[in-house]
Amino acid sequence: MSSPIISTPIDTGWCFDHSYAQLPEIFHAAARPALVRKPQLVILNRPLAVFLGLNAEALEECADIFVGNVFPNGAAPLAQAYAGHQYGHFTTLGDGRAILLGEQITPSGERFDIQLKGAGQTPFSRRGDGRAALGPMLREYIISEAMHALGIPTTRSLAVATTGEKVFRQEQLPGAVLTRVAASHIRVGTFEWAAARGDKAALRSLADHTLQRHYPHFVDAENPYLAFLKAVMERQASLLAKWLHVGFIHGVMNTDNMALCGETIDYGPCAFMDTYDPATVFSSIDQHGRYAYGNQPHIAQWNLARLAEALLPLLHGDEKQAIELANEAITGFQTRFKNHWLAGMRKKIGLFTEASEDTALIQALLEWMKQSKADFTNTFRALSSESSSSFSSETAFQDWHQRWQMRLSQQPQSASEVVNLMRQNNPAFIPRNHKVEEALDAASEHGDLSVMQRLLTVLSKPYDHEQELPEYSQPSSSEMYQTYCGT
């Protein structure tokens, strides 16, 4: 079927700009969503729509927009080009199943990419069909919105709509499109793409665009590109620490899935850890644990080293000096990460003050959790309660608890202040894998969205410790959980 050119006649509040499209041609290709048979809106994120300056009520009637059959006013669709290291191997990629409609300017003047994921083939689709199935798109919706509610920078989900067509995977599945909202979709892989082409002018344009868009305060720095690299690293260090603080495993931290704006992007085989073990992996294809929970900070550093390599021609006119600057910056990542990690972990155990023994105290707790196969989220939740000492009768835990109480007594804050701090930093609810699967199953197999709606409501208030909802806080009874790529 041919593609649409018409725009919606209803005033739905779209206010598009197209700054990315101004970049040199190597960064994008024209792309049009494929017309689909029977668009149906499955879910619309009304609060997000309002935040973006959109008319949520009118959009409820606009399934056509959310599959790409109708363009919102001012949209100028394109697919973005990028490369990336996937599981350590360089490859050229690009949006094979995502189409950028443009950048929505919000009432407060912020700029967000509006992207249709699963809207059909683009010049970068290679052998792929450009489509997506309902289950994985709803999964991205649930997890990204949960991450947002947890206070973790992330792309967001505005809507999911079904196409009325089947997609062919191992089986036939209902086709769907996710409308994704991101500060931008510029990735480490976008820079790798420019560098691989050896096009220094294009690389500079991309760096200037990204600097202006996400780090405008460094535009006038003495060496703006070095400042840019360090600022990207700082945001990633903070982001990775936040992932670890809630037990999040991204699962596919390829360089094309690392966004320079510092948001978590591309929810494929991701999942939250139940039992604490740094070696935890959920993705069926991550057989060597490259993207295991505890390995994520190292991989982030590895990815950032690829960014630094791509930026070399801009860091210094002399290559040797450029390499020195890049190396020095990248080496600093571990310290940056540790600082964020430790600051967050202190809050998780109620520490307002800093003492040299804190790292050892936290490590001792984690060691005990690993040995006794404790649930990550529920352990910290239990520690946040007044009766924390009864959490486990094991001697090792009791010894640790005493040590912790001693440490707490060295700070001036009251017990209730400590509990408050802990409750603000230890979620009561995370997207438990079996609850996510249950919601997806009801939606995909039975067209019942009520299970997902209930889950989304719980996940929208993850720090609400007043609610006792054991159904949502218990880990799954089965240990084995696998997630899949290429969905």
Q: Work out whether strand 83-86 and strand 248-249 pair parallel, antiparallel, or are unpaired.
A: unpaired
Shortest separation between residue 268's beta carbon and Mg ion, angstroms = 7
Cα–Cα dist 351/415, whole Å: 11
User: For Mg ion, which is the closer residue by CB, 194 or 456?
Assistant: 194
Shortest separation between residue 58's beta carbon and ligand AMP, angstroms = 30
φ and ψ at 7, to 5 degrees? -110, 160
Query: Considering CB distances under 5 to 8 angstroms, the limit depending on partner class, which of Mg ion, ligand AMP, none binds residue 94?
Result: ligand AMP
**Residues in contact with ligand AMP by the rule CB under 6 A:** 93-97, 125, 128-131, 252, 256-257, 266, 268, 485-486
Query: Considering CB distances under 5 to 8 angstroms, the limit depending on partner class, which of ligand AMP, Mg ion, none binds residue 420?
Result: none
User: For Mg ion, which is the closer residue by CB, 266 or 274?
Assistant: 266
Shortest separation between residue 79's beta carbon and ligand AMP, angstroms = 8
User: For ligand AMP, which is the closer residue by CB, 96 or 151?
Assistant: 96
Shortest separation between residue 299's beta carbon and ligand AMP, angstroms = 15
Check: CB of residue 308 under 8 Å from CB of residue 302.
no
Shortest separation between residue 427's beta carbon and ligand AMP, angstroms = 26
**Active-site residue, 256 included:** yes
User: For ligand AMP, which is the closer residue by CB, 215 or 248?
Assistant: 248
Query: Considering CB distances under 5 to 8 angstroms, the limit depending on partner class, which of ligand AMP, Mg ion, none binds residue 485?
Result: ligand AMP
Query: Considering CB distances under 5 to 8 angstroms, the limit depending on partner class, which of ligand AMP, Mg ion, none binds residue 307?
Result: none
**Which residue spans within 62-213 are E strands per DSSP?**
78-80, 83-86, 89-92, 98-105, 111-117, 156-168, 172-182
Check: CB of residue 135 under 8 Å from CB of residue 102.
no
Query: Considering CB distances under 5 to 8 angstroms, the limit depending on partner class, which of ligand AMP, Mg ion, none binds residue 129?
Result: ligand AMP
Residues 6+ apart with CB under 8 A from 216: none
Minimal CA–CA distance to 265: which of 125, 140, 136, 130?
A: 140
- Out of 122, 257, 303, 433, which residue is the one contacting Mg ion (CB under 5 A)? 257
Length of the chain, in residues:
487
Cα–Cα dist 425/445, whole Å: 36
| Residue 350 Cα to chain centre, angstroms | 27
Please pick, among 64, 95, 113, 256, the residue that the annotation labels catalytic: 256
Helix, strand or coil for residue 404? helix
Question: For the packed helices 333-348 and 415-425, what is the interaxial angle rounded to 10 degrees?
Answer: 130
Check: CB of residue 30 under 8 Å from CB of residue 81.
no
Residue nearest to Mg ion (CB): 266
User: For ligand AMP, which is the closer residue by CB, 131 or 242?
Assistant: 131
Query: Considering CB distances under 5 to 8 angstroms, the limit depending on partner class, which of Mg ion, ligand AMP, none binds residue 103?
Result: none
Helix, strand or coil for residue 211? helix
Exposure on the CB side of residue 286, measured as CA atoms within 13 A: 28
Q: How many CB atoms lie within 10 A of CB 260?
A: 27
Shortest separation between residue 32's beta carbon and ligand AMP, angstroms = 15
User: For ligand AMP, which is the closer residue by CB, 115 or 388?
Assistant: 115
Shortest separation between residue 238's beta carbon and ligand AMP, angstroms = 22
User: For ligand AMP, which is the closer residue by CB, 252 or 361?
Assistant: 252
Query: Considering CB distances under 5 to 8 angstroms, the limit depending on partner class, which of ligand AMP, Mg ion, none binds residue 96?
Result: ligand AMP
Shortest separation between residue 144's beta carbon and ligand AMP, angstroms = 14
Dihedral (Cα; 454, 456, 462, 466), 10-degree rounding: -20
Query: Considering CB distances under 5 to 8 angstroms, the limit depending on partner class, which of Mg ion, ligand AMP, none binds residue 232?
Result: none
User: For Mg ion, which is the closer residue by CB, 254 or 433?
Assistant: 254
User: For Mg ion, which is the closer residue by CB, 182 or 308?
Assistant: 182
266 binds Mg ion (CB under 5 A): yes
113 binds Mg ion (CB under 5 A): no
Minimal CA–CA distance to 373: which of 475, 451, 298, 464?
A: 475
Residues in the interface with Mg ion (CB under 5 A) total 2
122 binds Mg ion (CB under 5 A): no
- Tokens for 387? 């009766």
Matching residue, tokens 């057989």 = 287
- Tokens for 355? 């003492």
Check: CB of residue 103 under 8 Å from CB of residue 50.
no
Cα–Cα dist 452/440, whole Å: 7
Minimal CA–CA distance to 226: which of 314, 306, 310, 303?
A: 314
Shortest separation between residue 199's beta carbon and ligand AMP, angstroms = 20
Query: Considering CB distances under 5 to 8 angstroms, the limit depending on partner class, which of Mg ion, ligand AMP, none binds residue 23?
Result: none
**Mind telling me the catalytic residues?**
256
Binding site for Mg ion (CB under 5 A): 257, 266
